[in-house]
Amino acid sequence: MLYPDNFRETSFYAARVQIAYNEAMDFFPHHLLAKPRKVLFISPEAAPFAKAGGLGEVMFSLPMRLAERGFDARVFMPLYAHIDTEKFRIETEMDGLMVPTDAENENEPRELACNVKKFTPHPTAENHTPVTTYFLQNQEYFELRSNIYGYADDPVRWALLSRGVLEFLRRTRNWVPDIIVASDWQTGFLVDYLRTTYRDDPRLKRIPVIFAIHNLYYQGVFDHRFVSEMDFDDGRSPIPSFFDPRLLKLNMMRRGILHADLIATVSPTYAKEITTKDYGELLDGLLRERRSRLYGVLNGINYDVFNPKTNVNLKRNFDLRSINLRHENKKELQGRLGLNQERRTFLIGIVSRLTEQKGFDLLFPIADALLKELKFQLVILGDGESKYMSFFQELEGRFPGQVAAHLAFDTAMPHLIYAGADAILIPSKFEPCGLTQMEAMRYGAVPIARRTGGLADSVIDYDPETGHGTGFSFSDFDTMPLMIAVVRALESYKNPQAWKNIERQCMEKDFSWKRSAAEYTHLFDVAADLRKRDLAE
């Protein structure tokens, strides 16, 4: 259940103590057990203000669940141009925050002028309202940009965010966190600044910082796998000026890992995988050195949004007690996408970004043979790289009525696919956590997934002898294991009673953020102890 790679190897009894601790934290209100602590999450995005991917959803759900446990959890992010300050009633918290740039040339500004804005939820707000959120306002680097990511000077933007947060915390008299959680490579500079530039600051030096890795593959605006010796960043040199070209070549992921009190990843298995050469993205050596501070907590999903009982995108709502109604959504899905409406035909869904990471190269040599011989139906929803989109589009043309490819971004269709498909295919090359399998299982769709990262932690391989399992897993990244997993799933589907049992086990799993938040409370304690120890040395 927990976390450091070496923790699982120390003591069975220690693990049982941790489980008992988490169960107690679930039973008792957190404010009755200990004084609520103040937690500040730093992120380039957070729903509902600005969301480009899964990180935005994490920064909405996790702080909210921690708040329910008695924590004063808050978020700090940039104020982008598209954020409606009137709609969210965003007010000024601090005017004229001057952020140092470390400029060296006479024609470069020594400071950048910023403001800090603040969203405060109404005291009677419902539980789907975001927590208190701070925004760093700067016209040039945030307000004049139409997107969250994708600019050549992104490192400058994240350096400004990182330094701006720390300068605000130095000056504010209203609220200072007991712990900081910096999210992904964009906040690596914050961890570095905190432990170098601000290491002697009487207010900041005692604050523990957790660096949360959401995907080690991304480490900056460059390809870390092709860096010359001249440009290599060891993470220990001082961060240069905002206007120094060297800033664009620094590895922010490395710096976050190197300087954090504790490193968290989005699943226990991924925490172990990234210490190996195959998954470490050239940082495995550093991660092995810091493995005693490396933890993994499986992400969760929003159970209010992904709820088959109330979701408005379904033809027919259902829950665990009315799971037999799923077939009405299957019929709707087939009809809407032009598939033959055959109730007993095995239907596999794909809901994914179409990129190399997601493992669809494994389908290239076997998809036609599988579809011809096994006669199942296939639905694909997603967009991404052209070679995958072309592949699925051409596959649809060769198998009309059997394959449907909806190659576009769509927020409603995933829910219908989860509620109508019999299985969800997730053959990822690597998967730090993955949310698709959790979302699908919430609706009773059974994962066919590669055993990697969060997929290994969330999908239990089905055992026909015991009837225990929530999906069909394979280990090697190869076409043959994938094909065997599909065949195993199809053969199990031919036994309606056994398949219903698998569907029920899927829907019974708890992937709520409540579970993840309980585990994060332990991480905060560990990080605080490590900071005290480091200060004492």
| Three-state DSSP string of 494-537 | CCHHHHHHHHHHHHHCCCEHHHHHHHHHHHHHHHHHHHHHHHHC
The mean-pLDDT minimum among 14-23, 251-260, 309-318, 385-394 falls in 14-23
Q: Which of 395, 458, 88 is nearest to 267 (CA)?
A: 458
By the 8 A CB rule, do 245 and 188 touch?
no
Decide if pLDDT at 110 tops 90.
Answer: yes
**Parallel, antiparallel or unpaired: strands 91-100 and 72-78:** unpaired
Given pLDDT bands bounded at 50, 70 and 90, which one contains residue 27?
very low
Handedness of CA 6, 10, 15, 17 (dihedral sign): negative
Q: Residue 127 has what pLDDT?
A: 62
Q: Which comes out higher in pLDDT, residue 20 or 363?
A: 363
Q: Which of 171, 107, 153, 135 is nearest to 50 (CA)?
A: 135
- Phi first, then psi: give them for residue 405, nearest 5 degrees: -115, 115
What number is the average pLDDT over the span 426-444?
A: 97
What number is the average pLDDT over the span 485-497?
A: 97
Who's near 308: CB < 8 A, 6+ residues apart? 314, 317, 318, 319, 418, 419, 442, 443, 444, 507
By the 8 A CB rule, do 377 and 403 touch?
yes
What number is the average pLDDT over the span 139-161?
A: 94
Q: Residue 1 has what pLDDT?
A: 42
The mean-pLDDT minimum among 1-10, 152-161, 253-262, 493-502 falls in 1-10
Decide if pLDDT at 33 tops 60.
Answer: no
Given pLDDT bands bounded at 50, 70 and 90, which one contains residue 108?
very high
Q: Residue 221 has what pLDDT?
A: 85
Decide if pLDDT at 471 tops 90.
Answer: yes
d(C-alpha 225, C-alpha 72), whole Å? 40
What number is the average pLDDT over the span 198-226?
A: 94
Given pLDDT bands bounded at 50, 70 and 90, which one contains residue 476?
very high
Domains defined along the chain, listed by start? 7-300+514-536 (3.40.50.2000), 320-510 (3.40.50.2000)
Sheet holding 423-426, edge to edge: 403-406, 377-381, 347-351, 423-426, 446-450, 472-474
Given pLDDT bands bounded at 50, 70 and 90, which one contains residue 228?
confident
The mean-pLDDT minimum among 92-101, 216-225, 390-399 falls in 216-225
Decide if pLDDT at 527 tops 90.
Answer: yes
What number is the average pLDDT over the span 211-215?
A: 97
d(C-alpha 125, C-alpha 397), whole Å? 50
By the 8 A CB rule, do 396 and 404 touch?
yes
Which amino acid, one-letter code, is at 532?
K
Structure tokens, 387: 């070679």
Name residue, tokens 């103040």.
38
Q: Which comes out higher in pLDDT, residue 16 or 44?
A: 44
pTM: 0.90
193-205 pLDDT, tens digit each: 999 999 999 999 9
Structure tokens, 390: 């072309």
Q: Residue 224 has what pLDDT?
A: 87
d(C-alpha 439, C-alpha 186), whole Å? 27
Q: Residue 53 has what pLDDT?
A: 83
Q: Which of 388, 452, 448, 392 is nearest to 424 (CA)?
A: 448
Sheet holding 179-183, edge to edge: 91-100, 111-119, 133-137, 72-78, 38-42, 179-183, 209-213, 262-265, 294-296
What number is the average pLDDT over the span 288-312?
A: 96
Decide if pLDDT at 125 tops 80.
Answer: no
Q: At what angle do helices 154-171 and 188-195 cross, to 10 degrees?
A: 50
- Phi first, then psi: give them for residue 412, nearest 5 degrees: -90, -40
Average pLDDT, the chain: 92
Decide if pLDDT at 362 tops 60.
Answer: yes
Q: Is the peptide bond before 48 cis (omega within 30 degrees of 0)?
A: yes
Q: Which of 81, 109, 116 is nearest to 95 (CA)?
A: 116
By the 8 A CB rule, do 240 and 187 touch?
no
Decide if pLDDT at 6 tops 50.
Answer: no
Decide if pLDDT at 493 tops 70.
Answer: yes
Q: Which of 6, 20, 10 is nearest to 522 (CA)?
A: 20
By the 8 A CB rule, do 196 and 209 touch?
no
Q: Residue 226 has what pLDDT?
A: 86
Q: Residue 129 has what pLDDT?
A: 87
Q: Residue 91 has what pLDDT?
A: 97
Decide if pLDDT at 32 tops 60.
Answer: no
